[in-house]
A and B are shown apart, each in its own frame.
Chain A
Amino acid sequence: MKVNKLNPPTNNTISQENKGVALSMHPRKFALWLFIVSITMMFAALTSAYIVKFTEGQPLVFDIPIMFWITSVVIIVSSLTMHLAYTAAKKNNTKNIKMFMTITSVLGVIFLVGQWYAWAELVQAGVFFAGSKSAPTGSFIYVFSGVHGIHIISGLVFLLITLRLAFQNKINSEKTSVIEMCATYWHFLDILWIYLFVFLLLNH
Chain B
Amino acid sequence: MELHNHGQSAVAEAHTHDHHHDEHEHHEDGFIRKYIFSEDHKTIAKQFLILGLMWAFMGGAMSVIFRLQLGFPDFNLEWLRPILGTWINETGKLEQEKYLALVTMHGTIMVFFVLTAGLSGTFSNFLIPLQVGARDMASGFMNMLSFWFFFLASVVMFTSLFLETGPASGGWVIYPPLSALPEAVPGSGAGMTYWLISMALFIVSSLLGGINYITTVINMRTKGLSFARLPLTIWAFFLTAIIGLLSFPVLFAAALLLIFDRSMGTSFFLSDIYIGGKALHHQGGSAILFQHLFWFLGHPEVYIVLLPALGITSEIIATNARKPIFGYRAMVGSMIGIGVLSFIVWAHHMFVTGMNPFLGTIFMLLTLIIAVPSAVKAFNYITTLWKGNIIFTPAMLFSIGLVSLFISGGVTGIVLGNNALDIQLHDTYFVVAHFHLVMGSASFFGMMAGVYHWFPKMFGRMMDDKLGYVHFWLTFIGVYLVFFPMHYIGIAGFPRRYYSFSTFDFGKSYADLNMFISAAAIITFSAQALFAFNFVYSIFRGRLAPLNPWDSNTLEWTTPRVPGHGNWPGAIPTVHRWPYDYSKPDADKDGFTDFIPQHIPFSQTPNSNFEHENDLIAKQEGKKNSGDNEHKHH
Contact B220 A10 (CB under 8 A): no
Q: Which interface residue of A3, A37, A137 has the most chain B CB atoms within 10 A?
A: A37
Chain B, 226-280, CB within 8 A of any chain A CB: 226-227, 245-250, 252-254, 256-257, 260, 264-268
Contact B139 A31 (CB under 8 A): yes
- The listed residue (A7, A11, A140) touching B8 by CB distance below 8 A is A7
Chain B, 181-232, CB within 8 A of any chain A CB: 207, 210-212, 214-216, 218-227
- Nearest first, the 8 A-B pairs at minimum CB distance are A15-B571, A9-B570, A20-B223, A132-B281, A14-B574, A130-B265, A42-B249, A27-B138
Q: Does B452 interact with chain A (Cβ within 8 Å)?
A: no
Known A49-B253, A49-B257, A53-B286; judge A9-B219 contact (CB<8 A).
Answer: no
Q: Does A168 interact with chain B (Cβ within 8 Å)?
A: no
Bound-state CA distance A19–B281 (Å) is: 62
- CB-nearest residue of chain A to B555: A8
Contact A31 B215 (CB under 8 A): yes
Q: Does B283 interact with chain A (Cβ within 8 Å)?
A: yes
Bound-state CA distance A15–B223 (Å) is: 8
Q: Does B599 interact with chain A (Cβ within 8 Å)?
A: yes
**Number of chain A residues close to chain B: CB under 8 A:** 58
- The listed residue (A10, A16, A25, A53) touching B219 by CB distance below 8 A is A25
Contact A21 B219 (CB under 8 A): no
Instruction: Please encode chain B, from 273 to 301, with 1 for each CB lying within 8 Å of some chain A CB and 0 for all others.
Output: 00000000101111001001100100000
Chain A, 13-64, CB within 8 A of any chain B CB: 14-23, 25-28, 30-31, 34-35, 37-39, 41-46, 49, 52-53, 56-58, 60
16 other A-B residue contacts (CB within 8 Å) besides A17-B572, A38-B211: A6-B8, A8-B600, A9-B571, A14-B571, A15-B574, A18-B220, A31-B138, A43-B253, A44-B250, A45-B249, A45-B250, A53-B285, A53-B289, A57-B286, A136-B286, A139-B268
Contact A42 B224 (CB under 8 A): no
Contact A23 B219 (CB under 8 A): yes
Q: Which interface residue of A9, A16, A44, A58 has the most chain B CB atoms within 10 A?
A: A9
Bound-state CA distance A139–B267 (Å) is: 8
- 14 examples of A-B residue contacts, CB within 8 angstroms: A2-B7, A5-B600, A9-B11, A9-B570, A10-B11, A15-B574, A17-B571, A18-B133, A22-B221, A23-B219, A27-B139, A45-B250, A53-B284, A143-B257
Q: Using Cβ atoms and an 8 Å threshold, which residues of chain A touch B249?
A: 38-39, 41-42, 45
**Number of chain B residues close to chain A: CB under 8 A:** 69
**Which residues does A use to contact B, with CB under 8 Å?**
1-12, 14-23, 25-28, 30-31, 34-35, 37-39, 41-46, 49, 52-53, 56-58, 60, 129-132, 134-137, 139-140, 143, 147
Bound-state CA distance A46–B222 (Å) is: 40
Q: Using Cβ atoms and an 8 Å threshold, which residues of chain B touch A37?
A: 245-246
Known A1-B590, A35-B211, A45-B296; judge A9-B569 contact (CB<8 A).
Answer: yes
Bound-state CA distance A135–B225 (Å) is: 55
Q: Using Cβ atoms and an 8 Å threshold, which residues of chain B touch A139?
A: 260, 266-268
Bound-state CA distance A4–B246 (Å) is: 46
Contact A129 B248 (CB under 8 A): no
Bound-state CA distance A129–B283 (Å) is: 13
Q: Using Cβ atoms and an 8 Å threshold, which residues of chain A touch B591?
A: 1-2, 5
Bound-state CA distance A31–B215 (Å) is: 6
Contact B134 A34 (CB under 8 A): no
Contact B253 A14 (CB under 8 A): no
Q: Does B3 interact with chain A (Cβ within 8 Å)?
A: yes
Chain B, 548-574, CB within 8 A of any chain A CB: 558, 568-574
| Chain A: minimal CB distance from B425 (Å) | 27
Contact A20 B292 (CB under 8 A): no
| Chain A: minimal CB distance from B587 (Å) | 12
Contact B572 A10 (CB under 8 A): no
Q: Does B93 interact with chain A (Cβ within 8 Å)?
A: no
- The listed residue (B221, B253, B569, B604) touching A5 by CB distance below 8 A is B604
Known A42-B252, A130-B264; judge A19-B212 contact (CB<8 A).
Answer: no
Q: Using Cβ atoms and an 8 Å threshold, which residues of chain A touch B248?
A: 38
Bound-state CA distance A147–B252 (Å) is: 12
Known A18-B222, A20-B224; judge A49-B571 contact (CB<8 A).
Answer: no
Q: Using Cβ atoms and an 8 Å threshold, which residues of chain A touch B283?
A: 132, 135
Q: Using Cβ atoms and an 8 Å threshold, which residues of chain B touch A137?
A: 284
**Which residues does B use to contact A, with CB under 8 Å?**
3-4, 7-8, 11, 15, 133-135, 138-139, 142, 207, 210-212, 214-216, 218-227, 245-250, 252-254, 256-257, 260, 264-268, 281, 283-286, 289, 292-293, 296, 558, 568-574, 590-591, 599-601, 604
Contact B254 A45 (CB under 8 A): yes
Q: Using Cβ atoms and an 8 Å threshold, which residues of chain A touch B573?
A: 8-9, 14
| Chain B: minimal CB distance from A81 (Å) | 29
Bound-state CA distance A86–B511 (Å) is: 72
Bound-state CA distance A100–B221 (Å) is: 38
- The listed residue (A8, A19, A41) touching B558 by CB distance below 8 A is A8
| Chain A: minimal CB distance from B359 (Å) | 13
Q: Using Cβ atoms and an 8 Å threshold, which residues of chain B touch A8?
A: 558, 573-574, 599-600
- CB-nearest residue of chain A to B268: A136
Q: Using Cβ atoms and an 8 Å threshold, which residues of chain B touch A19?
A: 223
Known A14-B571, A27-B138; judge A9-B15 contact (CB<8 A).
Answer: yes
Contact B214 A34 (CB under 8 A): yes
Q: Which interface residue of B142, B210, B211, B254 has the most chain A CB atoms within 10 A?
A: B211
Known A22-B221, A37-B246, A41-B246; judge A27-B572 contact (CB<8 A).
Answer: no
Contact A56 B286 (CB under 8 A): yes
Q: Using Cβ atoms and an 8 Å threshold, which residues of chain B touch A26?
A: 219
Bound-state CA distance A10–B558 (Å) is: 12
| Chain A: minimal CB distance from B526 (Å) | 41
Q: Using Cβ atoms and an 8 Å threshold, which residues of chain A touch B210?
A: 34
- The listed residue (B220, B257, B285) touching A27 by CB distance below 8 A is B220
Q: Using Cβ atoms and an 8 Å threshold, which residues of chain B touch A4?
A: 604
Bound-state CA distance A37–B253 (Å) is: 14
Bound-state CA distance A52–B287 (Å) is: 12
Bound-state CA distance A9–B283 (Å) is: 67
Bound-state CA distance A43–B573 (Å) is: 42
Bound-state CA distance A59–B222 (Å) is: 55
Q: Using Cβ atoms and an 8 Å threshold, which residues of chain B touch A31?
A: 138-139, 142, 211-212, 215
Contact A7 B286 (CB under 8 A): no
- CB-nearest residue of chain B to A30: B215
Known A1-B591, A31-B142; judge A143-B256 contact (CB<8 A).
Answer: yes
- CB-nearest residue of chain A to B253: A45
Known A2-B3, A27-B220, A56-B286; judge A49-B267 contact (CB<8 A).
Answer: no
Q: Using Cβ atoms and an 8 Å threshold, which residues of chain B touch A43?
A: 253
Bound-state CA distance A35–B207 (Å) is: 8
| Chain B: minimal CB distance from A165 (Å) | 18
| Chain A: minimal CB distance from B138 (Å) | 4
Known A139-B266, A147-B256; judge A10-B250 contact (CB<8 A).
Answer: no
Contact B250 A7 (CB under 8 A): no
- The listed residue (B3, B142, B265, B572) touching A134 by CB distance below 8 A is B265
Bound-state CA distance A147–B3 (Å) is: 63
- The listed residue (B142, B250, B266, B572) touching A42 by CB distance below 8 A is B250
Contact A42 B281 (CB under 8 A): no
- The listed residue (A9, A46, A58) touching B253 by CB distance below 8 A is A46
Q: Using Cβ atoms and an 8 Å threshold, which residues of chain B touch A3?
A: 7
Q: Using Cβ atoms and an 8 Å threshold, which residues of chain B touch A11?
A: 571
